[in-house]
Structure 1
Amino acid sequence: MKAFIKDCIKANKKIYEYINTHISNLDYIYSGQIGFGGDKSLNIDLFAENIFIEYLKPYGDIFSEESGYISSNSSYKIIIDPIDGSDNFSSNLPYFGTSIALQKDNKTIIAVVCNLATGILIYKDENKKIKKLNLATNKYIDFLELQDSNIGIFERAYTNPKLCEKLYENNIKYRSLGAIALSLCDARNYSFVLFYGKIREFDIAAGVYICEDLNIYQSDKFLIVAKKIHIFNLIKDIIN
């Protein structure tokens, strides 16, 4: 599957270079289309999706947040979020990216997540190896793992003020960054990652595969990821 990863890198590099050299006001505008996931699609969402389709369609069926299923009658499924954190992008908040998960028999075997604001791409291959690439320099960099962190990530915190209050009562520090795939990708560097709301496959498939060696709990409304078991149990007790 080296060819698939190479084409994922090429597609992300093309999107990254476009955003940094050719971006225009038109890219920030609502396209008039409601994506398969239920959100309004910006022009940049559709632009990125078209690039991924161009590079990745030969490898399998595509399931995209924007257009839904694009079938090629393959045993492989490619789950993509063309722009993870579109609201951040449209507000010039530098925390947005892309996510790709390649599945066979409904099991993720390769995941690629790219932070388009920094140009840092992380992928985990079928052999469970994680690598980190700087798109600007085309050089691989060390995948460092922080041993201790003072903060967690609570995505969509604004939708659950009662839970925010419980975290405050337990003196738990967190941030709400607005791009769940990016947050999951770096979960091992945070105290925890907590997601509340409707859990969609294209939001979490790639990120969960990258952090699958951590403690993970998922229900119909919550996703918790934490490296340390006592933090994991604490957050789980708070939400239940």
Structure 2
Amino acid sequence: MFASSNDLLETIKQAAYEAGTLLREGYTQKGRIAFEQKGASDFVSYYDTTAENIIIDCISSAFPDIAFLGEESGLTPTDSEYTVIIDPLDGTSNFLHGVPHFSVSIAVTKGDELVIGVVYQPLLDEMLWASRGSGAFLNDTPLATPEPRPLTEMLVSTCLPYHAKGDCTTAISQLAALMPQVAGIRSPGSAALEIAYTSLGRFDAFWSQGAALDFWDIAAGIVIAREAGCTVTDLSGQENPAQWDSLLAAHPERHGQLLVCLRS
């Protein structure tokens, strides 16, 4: 289908940049953007759908036989073993409220395996990306595994359930278990970006179980975090579960400690 996986990676990076350019321009319209509500705490705007169309058009023009799974367009199956997983605007609520924390998230699976992840923050012009076995990068800079901090110094990110979307009881229980152990917990509102930030050490870990995250919310971040040396599993410790009903990304030296704490 293509000469190398690098061809697909470079096309995906370009697609993320083009979609991000639209979002950066749209962000200046904050407070005046029309949107619809898909479900509890789940919004969609012109920018979500248009950004996804930009991504699909960019990639399919170079790889016409590839399959897509988009948050807005659903599954477009083909006979290809590669599927592009798209969240065109991860952090729509932030975007609509003028909070400058959102991202374009694109991943690729080959069969059942995650092989490419790209997360682009257009306001900062920061592109985090990784290809399985080739390391993780911030723009053109290769990333090394961040040094592990003690639990008492860790800044941890999570997604929380709101407005009946997810399991509030589980989220509150895990917060209560973790809050006395760490230096801080944040829920900024773009899971793809926050998982990817563990590759930079901006967050020492990311976890979620109570929030009802979809695969497109987490897929690209998983590839980037793993290629930067983080351990990523669900909260049962499975590296590749059939369904990602929970997630923990952390330095290998802290992953087990956090698992024990969250399970309690």
Aligned to 1:211, what secondary structure does the other structure show? helix
> Offset of 1:40 from its aligned partner?
2.9
Aligned to 1:28: 33
- Against the structure 1 CA distance between its residues 27 and 210, is the aligned structure 2 distance closer, same or farther, given a 3 Å change threshold? farther
Mind listing any 5+ residue stretches in structure 2 that lack a counterpart?
163-167, 236-243
Aligned CA distance change for structure 1 residues 148 and 161 (closer, same or farther; 3 Å): same
Q: Is the 8 Å Cα contact of residues 114 and 121 (structure 1) preserved in structure 2?
A: yes
Alignment correspondent of 1:168? 179
Q: Check 1:10–1:218 CA distance in 2 against 1; reply closer, same or farther (3 A cut).
A: same
TM-score (norm 2): 0.77
After TM superposition, the structure 1 = structure 2 runs for residues 34-49 of structure 1, keeping only pairs within 5 Å, are 34=38, 39-49=42-52
- What does residue 123 of structure 2 align with? 117
Select which of 14, 17, 29 maps to 1:13.
Answer: 17
Residue 72 (structure 1) shift: 3.3
Point out the more displaced range, 111-120 or 155-164: 155-164
Seen in structure 2, the aligned counterparts of structure 1 residues 82 and 227 have a Cα distance that, compared at 3 Å, is same
2:114 counterpart of 1:108: yes
Secondary structure, in 3 states, of the residue corresponding to 1:28? coil
The separation in 2 between residues aligned to 1:126 and 1:152, in whole angstroms, is 25
Aligned sequence identity (%): 21
Structure 1 gaps of 5+ residues are 134-139
Q: For each residue in 1:21-52, what CA deviation from the matched residue of structure 2 results, as whole angstroms up to 9, or x when unmatched?
A: 4654698321x4739x9933211100111101
Q: Is the 8 A contact 1:4 1:59 kept in 2?
A: no
2:241 alignment partner in structure 1: none
Larger displacement relative to structure 2 (52-61 or 62-71): 52-61
Structure 1 pair 171/157, CA: closer, same or farther in 2 (3 Å)? Answer: farther
Match of 1:136 in 2: none
Tell me, what secondary structure is at the counterpart of 2:105?
strand
**Cα distance in 1 between the residues matched to 2:205 and 2:191:** 12
Match for 2:215: what amino acid?
Answer: E
User: Mean Cα displacement is larger for which, 117-126 or 168-177?
Assistant: 168-177
Instruction: Decide which of 192, 197, 200 is 1:181's aligned counterpart.
Output: 192
| Per-residue Cα deviation, 1:57-114 (whole angstroms, up to 9, x for no partner) | 3251100111111233322111111111111111111111011111111211211111
Say whether the 8 Å CA contact 1:155–1:195 is kept in structure 2: yes
Alignment correspondent of 1:147: 147
Task: Specify whether residues 204 and 20 from structure 1 end up closer, same or farther in structure 2 by C-alpha distance, changes over 3 A only.
Answer: closer
Structure 1 position 170, deviation (Å):
2.8
1:221, 1:8 → 2: CA distance? 26
Q: 1:205 aligns with which of 209, 213, 219?
A: 219
| Residue equivalent to 2:256 | 233
Q: Which has the higher contact order (CA 8 A, sep 6+)?
A: 2
Q: Alignment partner of 2:50: what SS? A: helix
Aligned length: 231
Deviations along 1:163-199, one digit per CA (max 9) or x if unpaired, are 2222223344221111111111121313211112334
Aligned residue for 2:120, secondary structure, equals strand
Separation (CA, whole Å) in 2 of partners of 1:110 and 1:38: 29
Question: Among residues 206, 211, 225, which one is paired with 1:193 in the alignment?
Answer: 206
- Pick closer, same or farther for the CA change 1:17–1:203 going to 2, 3 Å: closer
Query: Which segment drifts farther, 116-125 or 167-176?
Result: 167-176
Contact 2:94 2:100 in 1 (8 A): yes
My pick for the range that moved more, 173-182 or 146-155, is 146-155
Secondary structure of 2:179's aligned partner:
helix
Q: CA 1:46–1:233 in 2, change beyond 3 Å: closer, same or farther?
A: same
* Separation (CA, whole Å) in 2 of partners of 1:192 and 1:183: 9
Show structure 1 runs of 4+ deviating over 4 A: none
Q: Tell me the distance in 2 between the aligned counterparts of 1:164 and 1:33.
A: 28
Distance in 2 (alpha carbons) for counterparts of 1:174 and 1:236:
16
